[in-house]
Amino acid sequence: MQALASFVRTIDRFNDAIGRAVSWLTLAMVLITFGVVVLRYVFSLGWVWMQESYVWLHGIVFMLGAGYTLLHNGHVRVDIFYRPKSDEYRAWVDLLGALLLLLPVILMTFFGSWEYVIKSWAGFEESREAGGLPGLFVLKTVLWGFCFCIGTQGLSLAARSFLILKGQQGLLPPTSIESGKG
């Protein structure tokens, strides 16, 4: 049980660090968007690569931040059926949801995107727009980063739920789920 709790702590720390790191990209998005607007409407200037950059950053933030959001209980849920229930009930919902819904969808996403990403890397795919950003293949690889981040956090959620059901929640660090915040 200690090893399982250690796994949960490791994955939780990993996704927390990734989420905090990519959150800084939102500042970059705001600054770039502001720059695009000022350049376009004040100076009548614009570059496709600059417009694409904030769209790409937006995708990276959402894809790589998904594990962080799951860790901090930020995904949409019907709380009237979840929040007022016991810790055991919520652990069952989280365990079954992670194992029967989240992880199968993540595996399908990963394997479904395999050829898409590989083909992009094979041709070092660039933006289709004239003057767009090179390295579209790197952006497409973020799909795999998404699968890894949210998939590992789903495993952590399942392991955490299992430990709660076994009465071993004392081995776990507190989260927003146990403290009733979220």
Residue 150 has a pLDDT of 98
Those residues whose C-beta lies under 8 Å from the C-beta of residue 12, and which sit 6 or more positions away, are: 71, 153, 156, 173, 175
Please check the confidence at residue 158 and state whether its pLDDT lies above 60. yes
Is residue 177 predicted with pLDDT exceeding 90? no
CB 66 within 8 A of CB 147: no
Q: How many CB atoms sit inside 10 A of residue 121's CB?
A: 12
- Cβ atoms of residues 126 and 136 within 8 Å: yes
Tokens of 146: 């998404």
Which of 59, 61, 56, 69 lies closest to 22, judged by CA?
61
The whole-number pLDDT of residue 8 equals 94
pLDDT in tens, 130-142: 999 999 999 999 9
The pLDDT of residue 173? 75
d(CA 35, CA 50): 9
What is the model's pLDDT at position 85? 83
pTM of the model as a whole: 0.87
